[in-house]
Structure formats: C-alpha cells, structure tokens
Structure 1
Amino acid sequence: MTATHQVRKAVADLRSRIPNGSDVIVTDGQGYRAVLGGAGLDLCEFGDRTGEADRAVAEGRPSDAIAALQSALALWRGRMSGLGSVALEAAAARLEERRVTAAEQVFELCLRAGHAGGLVADLRDLAAQHPFRESLHAQLMLALYRSGRKAEALGEYRKIRELLVEELGIDPGPQLSSLYEAILREAPELSIPTDVITEPPEPAAATTDTPEHAHAPCTLPYDLSDFTGREGELRALLDCMTGSQESRGHCRVVAIDGMGGSGKTCLAVRAAHQVAADFPDGQLHIDLRAFTPGESPMSPTAALDSLLGVLGVPSDRIPGDLEGRRALWRSQLANRRMLLVLDNAVDTSQVYPLLPGSPGCLVLITGRKRLMDLDGAAWISIGPMAPENGTQLIEEVLGAARTAAEPEAVQDLVRLCGGLPLALRIAAARLRNRPRWTVRYLVERLCDETRRLEELSAGERSVAATLQLSYQAMDEEHRTALRLLGLYGDADINVYTGAALLATDIYGAEQILERLLDVHLLQQSHIAVYRFHDLVRNFAQSLSSPATAHDNAMAVERLLGYYWRATEAACDVLFPGRTRNPAVITPYAGEVPVFTTTAEATDWFNRERASLIAAVELADQKGLDEYTVWLIRNIVFWLNSVGRFDEFKQLSQLAVATARRSDDLAALGSSLSSLGVACWRLGHLDEGIQSAKEGRDVAAQLGDQRTESHSESMIGLLLTVQGQHPEALSHLERAIALERELDIPRAEAESLSNLSTLLMQWGKYEEAALAARQALEIHRSLDYRDNHVMALTDLAFAYAGQGRYEEADEQLRQARARCDASSPPGDVALTLALSAEVIECLGRSAEGPFLAEEALELAALSGSPTRQAKVENLVGRLYRRRKGFERAMALHTHAHELAVAMRYRTEEAHALYGMAEAAAAFGDAEAAAGHAAKAEELLRSMGSSGHAAWCLTG
C-alpha cells in the first residue's frame, strides 16, 4: 500500500466522521484543505462562553458566570497526550491550562455563592489530575471545611504537604499554609460569605482589549517560602531588572546562568514576584525545556503559540509560521508593560524570536549556559552556595532544632553537597521524611563517592539526572572530554594537563575546557585554571566503564608522562648539576611549559603542587609504579628546597613502598636515600640512618655508585648530628671519594658541606674552613643558589670558630644577599642567627637583635626541628652575651627539649651549656653545675674538646 493511498483512505475516514465532512475537508490540487468557520468549533465556543463568564462577573451576575463556565467545560472531550509532536504537545498543554483555569474559576464562584459539599467530588478528581496545583487543594480544603468535614480538610493539607516535601523538597505556599492555620482556629472569615458579589466591581479602565485581556494574565510559578542563600545574587538581579527601561528605547533583557541544580529558576521566580507590581499588564512564565527529562527543547514556534494563547488570542488567529507568530506576539505586547520569564533556555536562536519589541517589557531568562551572542543582555552567573547559606537552607527545610543538634554534621552535609541547592534540598527532604535518621548518618552515606549521586535523589528529582541532561546535550567530543577529565579527580586542570588527557594541543584543550565552562560543567578558580564541582566530578567518574578502560589508561599515562617531563625540565633549571633520573619512561610528545629562569620554575612548582600530588596518587591508584617513584623523586627535590618536609617524607615513604612492591631495586635505593634526607630535616634521626644504610646496601648490590655515595653522605650527616664523629668521618670520606671518581661535583659539594659541619662540631676549625671553601668553589661554578648560601654560611662558622670575625662577616653578607622570599626558611634562619652572633662580636650591637628575632621567626616556620634547635641555641648565646639571661634560658630550654626528642646530641650539649650559664647568672649554682656536668659528659662521649669549642661557649 502506497503512502498516497494511505492518505486518501485517512481523509475519507475523516470526512465520514465529521458532519458535512465533504464541505469541511475539500480537495485542493494534489492535497487537501480544511474549511473551518468559527461557528461549530468547540474551541471557539469555549472561548465565547468563558468570555461571557468574564462579562457576567464584571457585571455582578455570578449565577450567569457559573452557568457560562459550566457550559464551556461541558464541551471538553478529555485530555490530549502522546501526540508525538512538540508543537501539538505545546498546544495541548495550553488547552489543558485554559480548561483547568476555567474549572478553578467556576469552583471559586461556587464557593463564593455558598456551595460546598457538592463540589468536593469534582475538586478531588481535578486535584488528583494536577497534584502540585495548590490552588485546587485550597479550594478542596475550604469545600470540606464548609461541609462540616474539618478533619478531612486538615488531612488534605497534610497529604499535599508530604507530597511537596517528598517530591520537590518544599513546603506548601502561603495560601495553603494560611488556610490550614485558619481552619485550625476556625477563623470566622472561612464561613460562607453573603455579600462577596452583591455589588459589581469597580469598572476597569477603558481598553480596546478583547474580553480575554480584561484581567492581566499571570502564570508565574509558586515563589518558594524557604528561599534563602541567594541574597547577594537577588540584589544584583533586582538592580539589573529595575533599571531604567524606557530610556533605552527597547525591551530590557536580564539572564541568569549556572550549573544544573544551582537554583536559577527559584532565583528568577523570586525576583519576578518582587517586581510583578511594576508590570500591570501581566507576568508570564514559560518553560522552554532545554533540560527537561523526557522532553525535547520547545521550538520558538510552539513557545509563541503557547504565549499567544495565554494572552487570549484565539487559535484560529495564530499564524502557522514563526515569522507570523513573532509579528503577532510583538503587536500584542506593543504599549504594554509585561514581565516575561523564559525559563530553561537552550540557546539564542530559541530565545530571540520571543523577545518583545516594547520598551516597557522586561525579559528574564534562565539557562545552563551563557548565551554569549544575545546582544544587550545583562548577565548574572550563580555558582554553589557559600557554606553559611547552605547551612541556612538546610535549617529552613529541616528545622532549627534538628540542625542545632548536629552543627558539625550539617556543615559536613553542606560540604558533601558542594553547596548545590538541588542537592541540599534533596538531602534535607530525605532527612525530614526519615525522622530516625541523624544528619551524621546521611553524611556517612554520602562519604562513599561511588554512591553519592544515588543518595542525592528523591522521587523524580536527582542530581545525577540533572547532570545527565547537561551531558546528553553536548556532542560526542565534549562527552568524551568530560569523562577523561574526570579521571584526574579533585585537581586543577590547565591547558597543558587538559591537552595531555584529551590528546590534543593546548589550543584545542582550551576550546574544550571553555566550552565545558560555558555550560557550567567546569568551574574556573583562576585565569586558565579549571576544576570540577565535587558532584560533577562524581558524575564524570561514573561515566567510565569497561568499554572505556583502554582509552582511560592511555589518557592517564599521557598525563603522568606530561608531569614527569615537566618536572624534569623544572628541576634542571632549579637544581643544576643534579644526578639525572635513571627512569625509562615513554617520552611525552605533547607540549610542556618552557622554563628559562629559576623564578619561572619555582612559580610553576608552587602553582602545580596540589596537582602534582594528585598525579602521584593517580599513578599509585592505577598501579603505574615507575611513574609513581620517579615523579616523586622530582617533586621531593623541590619540597626539600622550600621546606615542606612533612610532604617530603610522606611521598618518600610512598616511593619506598612502591619500589618494594614492584621489586625495583634501583628505585628502592634512590627512594630510601631520599627518605633519609627527609628524616634528617624532621629530626627523625634513627629512622633516617636506617633508611640511608639500607639504601646504600641496595645501591652497592646493584653497583649504583651514585646512589651509594649519596647514601654514605647522608649517613655521615646523621651520625654527625648524633655526635658520632669518628664513624661519621669515615662515611663522609667514602662519599667524597666516590663522587670525585664519578665526577658529580654537585653531590661532592654537598658532602663537603656535611664534612665541614662535622669538623666544626669537632672543634677542627681550619679543616672545617678548608672543606667549606672547596664546597663553595664548586657551587660557584654550578650557580646553585641555596647550596651556595649554605656553603658561605659553613665557611663563616669555621672563620668564627677561629675568631676571624671580619672574614666571617663578609661571607655572611654575601649569603644574605643571595637570599630572598623563595629561599628555604630554615637555611635563611641559620644564616641570620650566625650573622647576629658575628655582628655582636664585632661590636655592632645595635644590629644583632633584629637579625636574631627574624631568625627565630623563620626557624619556627621552617618545619625542621634540627634547624630550629640550632638557631635557638645561637640566638640564646647572643642574649647571654647581652646579659639577657631570662630570654636566653627560655631559648636554650626549648632547644634542649627539641634536641632530646630527636637525639640531636650536639645541640643538646649546646643547650645544656647555655642553661648552665643562665642558671649561674640567676644565682642557682646547683642547677648550673648539673647542666654543665651533663654537657661535659655528652661532649666526652662525642670526642669533642669541651669548653674549647667556640660553637658551645662563644
């Protein structure tokens, strides 16, 4: 059967069903044309009868109005649905709205006329068809109450309240709430009125409108009674909306954009209600369905059909084409002051045909993406709620008593919901409907990230469903991008990391990131830096499946390859002469930043610190052990230089555990050696010696002399701190010999500095000065600032021990000149503390205290107890020289506590001598003798030369 034959058969069937069908459907060329007159059409009759009802009400004839409305409703044949066409569905929705509005009007008139019991059944049926229409429930409650059924009226309120809370997370509006309270107290105003419509109302101002326009239409949604947390955005929005309109000569347009669930519609509706009085000709709201579950975005043609219908334009007067409808729409709004809310817009092409031409109108638009090409619009972007506002929203929904009982849990709930109003309302609604649940119980359920989105759903409302709509609206390229970017977890994303994950260049990555930013699936914390909202990240991670496993793995390796190559480049600039990484990692072929100065490399590490840690965690999570170990090696170089010693140790421990797991002895030896450095910095001396020795043994087993020499040097330094000078000397000499043989001058210079420290503590000042000068000469050729500063300071220590204060002062002046805000604070503190001591010895007593106090502040900030103990002893000795024994005693006492806790025997002896001298100054001879005896015993056990050591007595 051909299509032509099917059409002919359908037309014939229609003609047979319609009275005088051959006159109504006529053949026109190769097609058919419907000949429709106004008479005989139900829709036209419906409009005529509702118009007649309006006139009857205006003239004080309520009985005639009721009769006209009832006859209009009798024309109805039932609700239309499942039409399969956006335009037809829009028309059906408009017709249904007209029917329900007429029914509400007739019920209202009947209630005013004293009817009650006879309305209950019809009201129940209509309210069941429209469960969220609160006006119908209010009429039903009043009809029940006036029928002597108070309990049922109150029960009706409880049912609608439970429905609104469960499905929408909101309470009934003021109309229902006030009626409920009035029924409870049996308010006199609820009794059957006797004179409501006895007199005609005031005549309306003269107008040329048709009867349908006699009353200004208002289709604004219900304004939430518990609206909260958007006061700043509301003020900004109202400022935009209430600015001068006529002076502009055109319609004013204000738009709100934000991620799904951020409360755009609630904010728009609240603002619209507040300015409604400024638009006496009507306030219209239409959902354009850009992101409506199960529906396609409404076309401009269908939207105009619906809007014109609300204005009362008969359907037979509405043109079939977009341009015709647009022209009619603008002519209808000419010289009117109307407010139009275009909710849930998809793009400019959908919105632009709906804009009025009248300068007295205001259009308020909401959408998930900013319509950048909508010229002349004022924009308000809304993001997550501030924590305090999120808490306030929870309290509004859940109640003050329940939130006050668990304040910390409520704060955790707001954090886990990411400040997203939709998530907060769903969470609060779940708690409200489960009185046995504590807030903490729900928080614990939300802590499982794999189930968080499932927990944040209630009825048809769901955070996941809201995000899914945004996801489905994108093309495949951006869907894939969202999934791949989600692999990086809670980390900042820039164009370089984006390019690595997405296998594109940095320009392509920026375009994709900006597109995701436009639709609010990414946020921007700084220029060109992007990150996920927590719940969007959970959603993005949920997109991965076994089918995407290979692509995901490739993206992760690209990201880690980028970071390994970038950290290599940054470390080459910051740490010249360092031993190159022995890792065998597939080279990353994409773009990396170019570092030409130490400032650029330092700034990059500072910016990327959290992201680098996240990359290491990702490598560990995915079992990419080689990336884990060698990325850590590069990162800890920088962490050590900036004094982040706790992170240094944590990452080193992870590297050791990873190397053991993968049975990678080369990585294990290097990682153990780094762990030893971290332990020295933190004063974990015994652990440090154990790690360094194991690292040395592993390196020796492999024949890795570079790692062996580094471990030997570290062992020597740690033993020096513990006062085991002869044993320390043998390890340091072994390290220096290996480093000279291998021709690794940077490592040799570091070992020479460690040797200088040992000889200084041993009282061998000339040898200490020689080692320091050798280290300094190497550092000058490498131009490595931080080690250069310490070599100068080591030499100054040796000169001061010899009494060569002028020469020591010159070395310290050079060291201070090389320090800046990026220098390791512990190292700078040591340089400043010794500078104060030397200046005092040179008789420039006015300068010393300022340097000393700055040294103490930096030492406390350094995170290194070994540095802090040494600095406090140096400054304590300065105050002893200046007779400030009380301050000196406090400093030496604290230094002693630090030194004892980490078995730093040299500084323990320094502190005891200082405490002895201060106690003697206080006249406490017994305490002085006790402290001095302990110090002498420590010195003898270390092989030092007692009071002859300048570094103890000055």
Structure 2
Amino acid sequence: MTGVESDHLRFNILGTLEGWAGGTRLRFGGSIQERVLATLLFEPGRIVPVTRLVEAAWDEEPPTSAEHQVRKAVSELRRRIPRGADVVVTDDPGYRVELGDGQLDLNDFADLLRVAHAAVGADRTAEAEAALRQALALWRGPIMAGRGGRVIEAAATVWEERRLTAAEQHFELRLAHGDAAELVGDLRDVISRHPLRETLRGHLMLALYRSGRGAEALEEYAAVRRLLVEELGIDPGAQLTRLYEGILREDLESAPSPAEPQPALAAPVSEPGVADRGVCTLPYDLTDFTGRDDKQRLLLEKAGEPGGEGTRIIALDGMGGSGKTTLAVRAAHRLADHYPDGQLFIDLRGFTPGERPLQPAVALESLLRSLGVPDEQLPEGTEERTALWRVTVARKRVLILLDNAADPGQVIPLLPASSGCLVLITSRGRLVDLDGAEWIGLGTLAPEESATLLAKTLGVERTAAEPEAVAELAELCGRLPLALRIAAARLRNRPRWTVAHLVERLSHETRRLDELSTGRRSVTATLELSYQALSASGRAGFRLLGQHPGTEIDVWSAAALTGTSAQEAEDLLEDLLDAHMMQQQALGLYSFHDLVRSFARSLPGDDAGGGALAGRLLPYYLDATEAACEVLFPDRLRMEFDVEVPPTAELPPLRTAAQAMDWFDREYQTIQLAMDREGDIVDPACVVRLSRNLAFYLYTRSKPDEQVAQGLTAVRAARRLGEQRLLCLSLNNLGVAQWRVGRFRDGIDSVSEARRIARALGDEVGEAMSVGRLGLLHLDIGELAEAVRCLEQAVVLRRESGYATGEADSWANLSSAYRRLGRHHEAVAAAEEALRINRRAGVPDREKFVLNDLAAGLLGMDEPERALAVLDDGLTPGDETRQTENHALTLALSAEARQLLGDTERALRDADRAREIVGRSGVRLRASEVENIAGRVHRRAGDPAQALRLHRLALDHATALGYRAEVLDALTGLACAAEELGEKDEAAGYRARGRILQAELGIGAGEEE
C-alpha cells in the first residue's frame, strides 16, 4: 500500500464489500477480516465490543481462540488499509472505525435520506426525488452480497427495509409528478423480489390506471389478494382496498398535466466530474446482473467505434427470456455519459403478454413528450411525428433504447437522422430488413454464469449448501436467465424448499413449464408469444418438430416428420432459427432449447402425437439405414421380406462409406429413441428390419450393450408380427449380441429357438446361420467337442446355401476351436481357408477377424515371424473405431509375436495400448483374452508381479462370463507368474485347478511356457 493516499479512502458495503484507496482496490484477507470490518462499518464512530465481533465472525460455536483471532484480524486490516491504525481504532472493550464525509456509502445513503425527508417537509419534491434517486443508486446488491452471516444479515435487514421505504417514496413522488407508464416496468421488477409489499402494489395499480390500463390495475389487486391469502392468510389492507374501489368506480384523481414541459428527470448518481446526463427514462440497472461479459464488451466496442454519417444502430436478438433487455439496459447506463442530451427507453411491446405491439405514432408521442414537447405541439400523423422527432433530436447526442421490437416497420420511423445518436434495439427475431444495424445474438448463459446468477438472486449460502443441485437446476432451466430468475423467486418465496426439491419437481417434463411460473412471469407465456407470431404453417411444423426424439434435427428427418420436401423443411427450420425458436450448433443441424421443446410437446395439434413419428419418421430411417448398409456392408446376407414398408421420398447423401458412417454415428441414438417411443405402434416389420440394420452398425462400432437392447426390440416386434422367418432372423442376431457381452447361455437359448424355427420352415439359410452361431457359443463356454461339431456342420450348410462370407465366418470360428484343442496345424489351415474366401469376395472388414485367428494358430506352432507378418497386414488400416475389440486383439497378438522375436520394448507398449483399446470397446469377452496375452508379455519381460495382476483380471472377467476356455489360459498364466515370484504353493494350486478344467474341456495337458 505504499504510495497510496488515505485521503481518498472509501468503503462500500451496499453490495459486495469494497475498499478503495485512490484508484486501488483494497484486499482485506479472509472471511473473518471481512465480517469484522463489515460489523464495524455498520456502526461508524461507535465502539463495537470484541464479543460482538466474535459473534459476527462465527455463526456457529466460535473456537476457544476466537477473541485472539478477532484481534489478529484487526491487526491484518490495519496492515492492509492505508493508515489503518487511524481508521480502525482500539477503544476498550472493543474497536471503532473513524471515517470522514464521503468515505462510506452507508453514511451517504443515510445522509441522502435525511435530505429527502427535509425536502419533502419543505414541499421541495423535485429535490426530494433527486436525493432518493441518488440514494437508491448507491445500492449495488444485497449488503455483503448476502455472505455476511447471521449477525450481519440482521443488521442488513434494517437497511434493506430503509431501502424499500425509500424506493416506495421515490415511486410515489414520480407518480405525483405525472410519471406513469414509464414506471410500470421498474415497479414490476421490484415487486417480483418483494411480492408482499402492498405499498408497491398500490403504486403499480395507480401507474397502470393512469396509463390507461385499468383492467391490468384490477388484475394486480386480484393477484396480490390471492398471494396474501395463500402466504399469510390475510386480505389486503384498507389503503390498497380503497385504491381498488376507486379504480372500479373510475373516480380517482387523474395525473397532473402541466401546461409547460415537464422538467428533465434528475440524473442518476454519478462520480464527481461526470457531466449531467440530461433526460433519462432508462429502467434501473439490475444489481444482480450476471454474465454476458463477452456480449457486453462487444456491444460497448461497437458503440465506441467511429460512426458513419448516419445513426449508429446496434441490435440484440435472442429467444424470449434470454436477457436481451437486461443487457441492453446495462450497456445503456454505461454509455450514458457519451450521450449527454438524453437516454430514452421505450417498450415497443412486440412480445408483451396481453398487449398489442405499440404503433409507431404512439411510440413517437412518448419519445417526444420525454424530450419536453408539449401536447399542443404534437402532430397527428405518423409521418409528421417522425419529422418532428428527427428535428427535435437533430444535432443532439441522444441514446435511444427501443425494447421488444416486433418488426422493422415498428422501428424505422423511430430512428433519428443525427449521426450523434445511438439506437439500441432488442428483438426476438433478427429484423433482416433493418438496414445498417449491427446484430449481436444472445444464446443461453454458460454453466458458471448460471450458477453465479442463482447465487446472486438466491443467496450465496443457500446455493453453496447444494452445489450439485444448483448445477442441475441451471440445466433444467436450460441456462435461460428468465427461467433461472423464476426458479430463484420460487425458492425465495418458499424458504422451506431445498434446491434439490425444486430440481425434483422440474425433472418431470410434463410439469416443468408449470413450475417455471411466478407472479406475472412465466416461461410458457414468453414462448407462447413467439409461437403465435409464426405463420399457421410455421406453428404446425413447430408442433411436429417438437416430437422429434433427437437432440439434433437434420433437413431430411425434418422433411419426413413434417411430410414436406427437404427444401420446404429447410425453409421451416431457418424460419424457426430466425425467430429463435430453434438453435444451430453446426451447419445443417438444428436443435431445440430444452424448454422450447417442452413447450412444443405441450401444444395440442392435429398430429402432435406419435402418428407422424411412427408413420413417417421411422419408415424414413428404415430407408436411410438400408441405403447406408448397402454402402458399408455390401456382403451382408440378402433377404426378401414378405411385408414391405412404403418408401420415403428424399434421403441424405449416403454414396460413400465416410458419408454413411458419419450419418450412422450422428443418427443411431435418435433412431433408438424413436423406436423406444413408437415401437409398439409402428409396423412391426419396420422395427425388425430397422433393428437388423442398426445391428450391423452397432457391431462395427463395438457397442455391444446397445446391440443387445436393439436385438430384444427386434424379437419383441417379430413376435408381435407373428412372422416366423423374421423371428428366426431376429433371434439369430440377438444371439450374436448376447455372445459379445458374454451372456453365452442366453445366446444359446436364443439361437436354439431360431434353429427350431428354421427347421420347421425348411429355411436352410436360417438353419446354417443358427448352427454356426451355436458353435461359436459352445466354443466360448468350453464345450469344445460340440463347438467343433456345430462349426464343421455350419461350413457345409453355408457352402450349400451359397453364402460365401458366412462360410468364411464358420471357418474362422472353427480355427479358434481347433486351436483351443491344441490342433494348431488344422487351426492355421481353417483360418487360411476363411481368408481365401473373404479375399475372393472382397470383404476387407472381415479380414482382421480372420487374421487374428491365423496369427494365433501360427503362434501356437511357434512361428512368430509368420504371425507378425500376418498381423501387420491387419494393423495397416489403423482404424480403431471399427470393430474396436478385434483391433485390440490384433495389437495384443502383435505384441506377443514381437516379444518372441526380441523386440520387448515395442511389445510392452503395444500390449498396454491393446488393454486401453479393449477397455473402451465394452466387449467384455475380448478383455480377458487381451489381459492374458498382456500378462504373458509382461512375465517374459521380467515383471511377474504385473503378469500376476493381469492374469487375475483376466480370470475375474472370464469367470464372470463363464468363458471357460479363457479361464484356463488365465490359470496357466497365474501358475507361471506365481512360480517366478517364488510362491510355490499358490502356483501348485493354480496348476491343479487348470488340470481339472482341462479334463472338463476335453483338452490334453497343454505345454506351459
């Protein structure tokens, strides 16, 4: 603090606690120092005992060293404050602060209240109004930002009551001076935070009545009466009741209409040296304004850029409730000094519940009166008023905030011609015909901004107690400022509610919008106005798109859902985007804000249910997946279906493998959601065929759990359809999915049923498929003889059916069975036959699977060099995202081959990488294989402890699945690792278990390494 003069010392407590020395902000230390200082500042010049400071610093039981810590805190404050010993003075039995005039905002506030009181007594109402305005402007938020603790909050309550009383008196004075319409917005805002203040309600009723809005004034009385009865069980007081009766009889005294122009409104409080700002009708700047720092910075930068010859126009657009007005008002206050001739605000009511948009002539009348033009000088026509308006502001520097604009026609007559003026506009949709405007779009708040807003509006202590619930609340509110403020208001008005309780209520989508309503503020009402502004076709399309199950909507699915062409669907989506009823995160992909989607789904309509989803969207997805599978899986078995689904008109571009896979990656979850919601009402044939197409994709992308779920959906649909051939196909596909997640017995049940159906139908193709899959399932549960029998039969059946790639699959699985039995030469021969068939058929995706079997057989024959050459072929494509688990196994086998050839460093690296990849795949049966191979690699590298750990993991995984063949490999590896670690008894135990399992599997004693 050296070099800082204490003469410029100032403390602010009406908001966050601040201390300033010259232009330098003081740092007081921790919360104890802040609470001690705040308690002293509440009573400047008075002694505050140490015991009271202890009580203020600790809400709960203070520590035994509390008094000592308070004295240390005072010492720290003195060190941090310039000439601190003269500011915080010791005065037994405590301390006091000594401050001069202008050094504490609390003192300034009290002084200004005294000035206002004296001015009212002397009938100097203009002076009283100015003093109250300056006093209220000192408040930057709740005292200590709500972080003061119990003692400070008790004192803050007293000052908050004085603030409210001052605000009530200030509104009363302005009403007496003839202000009315311009007070409505400010009064509503204060009432939203203090809904039970009858005096404020009375001021609002009077302001509405004098603005020609008597019906709304009566509605306000009904609203506050309901609230008082619900919250306190009482009726409104006599004064409010008399006001209500006077409005009913229409015999209230009218607002004054002075013959001369009204004097300019008193300028808001400003720092010394700032010029008078002229007439100002801006709403007050929210003290708890949060976030939008980047947008505010951009707006101020644009406003500060050199202008052209005309008026600078900056416009904010965003969905209802996104905080456009709040940001515009804040920016206007910060720019006010640059426009000394006035800062004007007018609500154009483009989207105001219960009101029609303000006509330009009416808006011009309000603006001209604000600048002092008397009634007798106001012309009648819009053009004449526009001309007078432009003459009046010519050569002036005026800021005009046109809030809530509906269309360009409402705005253009209000634009001044002076190059010294700035016009700020807020609108829900971008007014594209408004030439020369610089637009800034507002989205939702960032997560941290949402949390901060809730903390400021709800209180730091309350939000800090439930941080996870606060984060969830922000997401349920869609991080929309309006929804967040409504949620905070509900919690403030219900102090017994926890944040988690409100989160639970909001978690039900059907009632979420009902919960986000308080007083006159409602998310539904805000969205309803935007919805009604759409054309009839736009509203119908909006309702249908609300039923789309995905988080993102492309043009083609939108066209299918709405029953239009892709071009018409794109036009609809773009119109909704312009109206901020949709969002766009990527080119060609559109999405709803969560609350907008809830609103769309709540709307009644001719086809807002599942009809469009089941009848149009799912058939579209069937056509699209068929086209994608034709590109990605040209070798799949061609099947004729007895039941056809009508094709849809337009499909996305799916001509290349990259296009098809990208489309599947983006849409597969949406397809699953659509089937979950509508699978019981759509044509079952569509569900079965669509599930089959998804199964190919899910297999390729290694999503086994989702593949099982999709298989079960297909089987249910096939049973409902009663089509045995489709049921056979679905059961076979389900069996493969169950095999991949290690549910071998379930898989055997599914495939066995499929085989019985195929035999009954005389379906040779279906039976060949079933026999091959039974062989695979028996193989992995260790029933090797049965596996070989089934797979050898499957080879013959597949060959006879003419399905070459199916025959190759059976040869590859037969290779695995031979290898498990120690028949390595036969294993290699079977794998080579599978590879030959696949290459002749031109199916590269199946090669990696076969190459793994071939390499494993070669390693069993002790030919690592040949095995590595084979595996290098499999690793060449390097795509880990397709059949991820097979890629991991290729890498693990490669590691074992490299180690046997002497490259241990690369082997260890590849083995660990294989474990990482297989862990991501979710294919559990492959995990145990890779872990066993990695265990062998680590043991040969001289790390038997790591080998032991890996083989134990493999044993646990394989045992849980019943994967007995791999259990045997794990036991063999554990025995070898334990023996190298000198644990002879443990090694003998593993060997004994291995011999028993070998006998059960029908395997001769295998060689150990």
Bin for the TM-score computed over the shorter chain: 0.7 to 0.9
**Which consecutive unaligned segments of at least 5 residues does structure 2 have?**
1-118, 127-170, 181-197, 211-220, 232-262, 267-275
Cα displacement (A) at 1:338: 0.8
1:818 partner SS: coil
2:286 paired residue among 224, 239, 243:
224
Whole-Å separation in 2 of the counterparts to 1:941 and 1:126: 91
Cα displacement (A) at 1:228: 1.8
Q: Is the 8 A contact 1:752 1:774 kept in 2?
A: yes
Deviates more, 1:457-466 or 1:730-739: 730-739
Q: How does 1:504-903 map to 2 (within 5 A)?
A: 504-545=564-605, 547-548=606-607, 553-554=611-612, 556-580=614-638, 582-583=640-641, 584-620=643-679, 622-903=681-962
Cα displacement (A) at 1:371: 1.8
Whole-Å separation in 2 of the counterparts to 1:788 and 1:494: 35
Q: Quick one: which amino acid aligns to residue 495 of structure 1?
A: V
Q: How does 1:92-111 map to 2 (within 5 A)?
A: 100=175, 102-103=177-178
Q: How does 1:141-156 map to 2 (within 5 A)?
A: none
2:997 paired residue among 921, 930, 938:
938
Cα displacement (A) at 1:254: 1.0
2:509 partner SS: coil
Q: Is the 8 A contact 1:676 1:687 kept in 2?
A: yes
* Residue 297 of structure 2: aligned partner: 235
Whole-Å separation in 1 of the counterparts to 2:409 and 2:650: 38
Q: Quick one: which amino acid aligns to residue 564 of structure 1?
A: L
Whole-Å separation in 2 of the counterparts to 1:431 and 1:885: 60
Q: Is the 8 A contact 1:255 1:364 kept in 2?
A: yes
Q: 1:621 to 1:465 in 2, by over 3 A?
A: farther
TM-score by length of 1: 0.76
Whole-Å separation in 2 of the counterparts to 1:923 and 1:707: 54
* Residue 244 of structure 1: aligned partner: 305
1:452 paired residue among 475, 488, 512:
512
Q: 1:126 to 1:539 in 2, by over 3 A?
A: closer
Whole-Å separation in 2 of the counterparts to 1:123 and 1:495: 51
* 1:730-782 C-alpha deviation (Å, 9 max, x unpaired): 22233223222221122222122111111111111222222212211221133
Q: Quick one: which amino acid aligns to residue 311 of structure 2?
A: C
Whole-Å separation in 2 of the counterparts to 1:830 and 1:820: 13
Q: Quick one: which amino acid aligns to residue 888 of structure 1?
A: A
Cα displacement (A) at 1:664: 4.4
* 1:338-393 C-alpha deviation (Å, 9 max, x unpaired): 11000011122221221111121111100001122323322221112222322222
1:450 partner SS: helix
Q: Is the 8 A contact 1:619 1:628 kept in 2?
A: no
* Residue 373 of structure 1: aligned partner: 433
Q: Is the 8 A contact 1:251 1:363 kept in 2?
A: yes
1:800 partner SS: helix
Q: Is the 8 A contact 1:253 1:362 kept in 2?
A: yes
The alignment status of 1:911 with 2:970, answered yes or no, reads yes
Whole-Å separation in 2 of the counterparts to 1:62 and 1:323: 46
Whole-Å separation in 2 of the counterparts to 1:97 and 1:325: 31
Q: 1:707 to 1:61 in 2, by over 3 A?
A: closer
Whole-Å separation in 2 of the counterparts to 1:616 and 1:228: 42
Q: Quick one: which amino acid aligns to residue 686 of structure 1?
A: R
Whole-Å separation in 1 of the counterparts to 2:281 and 2:895: 78
Cα displacement (A) at 1:548: 3.1
2:207 paired residue among 111, 130, 148:
130
* Residue 269 of structure 2: aligned partner: none
* 1:78-128 C-alpha deviation (Å, 9 max, x unpaired): xxxxxxxxxxxxxxxxxx9999462479xxxxxxxxxxxxxxx99997664
Q: 1:700 to 1:427 in 2, by over 3 A?
A: farther
Q: Is the 8 A contact 2:752 2:774 kept in 1?
A: yes
* 1:406-443 C-alpha deviation (Å, 9 max, x unpaired): 33322222221111111122222122222333333322
* Residue 413 of structure 2: aligned partner: 353
Q: Is the 8 A contact 1:769 1:799 kept in 2?
A: yes
Whole-Å separation in 1 of the counterparts to 2:826 and 2:890: 20
Q: Is the 8 A contact 2:175 2:207 kept in 1?
A: no
* Residue 475 of structure 1: aligned partner: 535
Whole-Å separation in 2 of the counterparts to 1:634 and 1:799: 35
Cα displacement (A) at 1:832: 1.5
* Residue 310 of structure 1: aligned partner: 370
Whole-Å separation in 1 of the counterparts to 2:918 and 2:288: 52
Deviates more, 1:446-455 or 1:471-480: 446-455
Would you say how many aligned residue pairs link Structure 1 and Structure 2? Answer: 777
Q: Quick one: which amino acid aligns to residue 278 of structure 2?
A: A
The Cα RMSD (Å) is 3.3
Whole-Å separation in 2 of the counterparts to 1:494 and 1:124: 49
1:366 partner SS: strand
Whole-Å separation in 1 of the counterparts to 2:291 and 2:285: 15
Q: Quick one: which amino acid aligns to residue 964 of structure 2?
A: R
Whole-Å separation in 2 of the counterparts to 1:750 and 1:123: 81
Cα displacement (A) at 1:467: 0.8
* 1:498-535 C-alpha deviation (Å, 9 max, x unpaired): 11112222222111111101111111121111111111
Q: Quick one: which amino acid aligns to residue 281 of structure 1?
A: D
Q: Quick one: which amino acid aligns to residue 235 of structure 1?
A: R
1:299 paired residue among 342, 354, 359:
359
2:607 partner SS: helix
Whole-Å separation in 2 of the counterparts to 1:285 and 1:924: 86
Q: Quick one: which amino acid aligns to residue 986 of structure 2?
A: A
Q: 1:329 to 1:831 in 2, by over 3 A?
A: same
Whole-Å separation in 2 of the counterparts to 1:711 and 1:881: 41
Deviates more, 1:226-235 or 1:256-265: 226-235
Whole-Å separation in 2 of the counterparts to 1:901 and 1:490: 36
Q: 1:284 to 1:943 in 2, by over 3 A?
A: same
Q: Is the 8 A contact 2:618 2:671 kept in 1?
A: no
Q: 1:62 to 1:403 in 2, by over 3 A?
A: closer
1:486 paired residue among 515, 533, 546:
546
Whole-Å separation in 2 of the counterparts to 1:236 and 1:813: 55
Q: Is the 8 A contact 2:623 2:648 kept in 1?
A: no
Whole-Å separation in 1 of the counterparts to 2:514 and 2:639: 45
Q: Is the 8 A contact 1:490 1:532 kept in 2?
A: no
Q: 1:417 to 1:611 in 2, by over 3 A?
A: same
1:611 partner SS: helix
Cα displacement (A) at 1:605: 1.4
* 1:900-924 C-alpha deviation (Å, 9 max, x unpaired): 1111111111111111111221222
The structure whose Rg is larger is 1
